[in-house]
């Protein structure tokens, strides 16, 4: 009887010595792969670990998202960064990671929504603002080249709501240039009938003057932010001269 009890006790002790927490092997394997910069393997193991612990590890949800990004598995990156956001974990970086994944997936609408939600959650976050501002500067230029001035202005205006000084200056200057160039174009075209149709010329000149006024207002805002900026000074002087 004593021998039987002893065997059972030894068996229980041996089992406890070799027992591991759920997913521990996968987690360790993922960490080893991460250190070796084998991010595809790291992601696969981290994902297995998370399933084993029912996604209860906030830090490793984020790590899994990063591993997915580094292994160019952008759909998985989007998924796990969204989970990190819901867990309120590294919130700024999680929003940025999700937006970058959506950019790589060519999901522009979702990317913009993610950036806007991120900026509400962490106002003034430099990296989120930079991605948001850079995107709308690009879209504004594209619209301007396509001669869609209304859309260009809408895109540039979105940037003026940010706290980043450099981005705001670029946006105000873009808006100033947009309206100044449009006003100058209107006036140039009207010159051809300045002497033959004075009423029409006066109407076109009024449109140009209105655009010059809008341009001046935006450049004055840029001037407030960067009074010594030579580009701001030059555009300001050009607009003032055109309005005389």
**pLDDT tens digits, one per residue of 159-189:** 999 999 999 999 999 999 999 999 999 999 9
Residue 206: inside a domain, yes or no? yes
CATH code assigned at 103? 1.25.40.10
Q: Are 72 and 118 part of one and the same domain? A: yes
The C-alpha R_g of the chain, in whole angstroms, comes to 30
Residue 233: inside a domain, yes or no? yes
For residue 94, count other CB atoms closer than 10 A to its CB: 27
Residue 203: inside a domain, yes or no? yes
Q: Are 74 and 165 part of one and the same domain? A: no
Which of the two residues, 17 and 79, has the higher pLDDT score?
Answer: 79
Residue 114: inside a domain, yes or no? yes
> Quick one: pLDDT at residue 20?
65
Residue burial 118-133, b: 16+ Cβ < 10 Å; e: rest: bbeebeebeebbebbb
Which of the two residues, 21 and 75, has the higher pLDDT score?
Answer: 75
Overall domain count for the chain: 2
Residue 3: inside a domain, yes or no? no
Q: Are 58 and 118 part of one and the same domain? A: yes
Q: Are 118 and 195 part of one and the same domain? A: no
Q: What is the mean pLDDT of residues 92-96?
A: 98
Q: Are 99 and 32 part of one and the same domain? A: yes
Q: Are 114 and 169 part of one and the same domain? A: no
Q: Are 103 and 162 part of one and the same domain? A: no
Residue 64: inside a domain, yes or no? yes
Residue 17: pLDDT band with limits 50, 70, 90:
very low
pLDDT value at 13 more than 80: no
Q: What is the mean pLDDT of residues 117-141?
A: 98
Q: Which structural domain, as residue segments, surrounds residue 52?
A: 23-123
Residue 161: inside a domain, yes or no? yes
Q: Are 176 and 111 part of one and the same domain? A: no
Residue 222: inside a domain, yes or no? yes
Measure the CA–CA gap between 49 and 29, rounded to whole angstroms: 10
pLDDT value at 39 more than 50: yes
Q: Are 204 and 154 part of one and the same domain? A: yes
Q: Are 37 and 96 part of one and the same domain? A: yes
């Amino acid at each position: 009887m004593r021998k039987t009890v002893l065997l059972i006790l030894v068996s229980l002790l041996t089992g406890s010595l070799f027992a591991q927490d759920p997913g521990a092997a996968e987690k360790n394997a993922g960490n080893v792969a991460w250190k070796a910069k084998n991010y595809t393997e790291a992601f696969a193991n981290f994902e297995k670990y998370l399933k084993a612990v029912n996604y209860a590890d906030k830090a490793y949800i984020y790590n899994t998202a990063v591993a997915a990004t580094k292994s160019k598995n952008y759909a998985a990156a989007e998924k796990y960064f969204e989970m990190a956001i819901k867990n309120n974990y590294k919130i700024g970086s999680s929003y940025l990671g999700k937006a970058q994944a959506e950019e790589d997936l060519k999901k522009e609408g979702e990317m913009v929504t993610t950036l806007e939600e991120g900026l509400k959650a962490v106002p003034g976050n430099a990296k989120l603002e930079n991605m948001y501002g850079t995107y709308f500067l690009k879209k504004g230029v594209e619209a301007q080249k396509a001669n869609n001035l209304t859309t260009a202005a809408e895109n540039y205006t979105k940037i003026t709501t940010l706290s980043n000084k450099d981005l705001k200056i670029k946006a105000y200057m873009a808006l100033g240039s947009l309206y100044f160039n449009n006003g100058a174009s209107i006036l140039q075209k009207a010159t051809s009938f300045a002497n033959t149709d004075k009423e029409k010329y006066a109407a076109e000149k009024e449109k140009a003057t209105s655009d010059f006024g809008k341009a001046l207002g935006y450049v004055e805002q840029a001037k407030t932010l960067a009074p010594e900026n030579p580009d701001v000074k030059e555009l300001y002087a050009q607009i003032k001269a055109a309005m005389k």
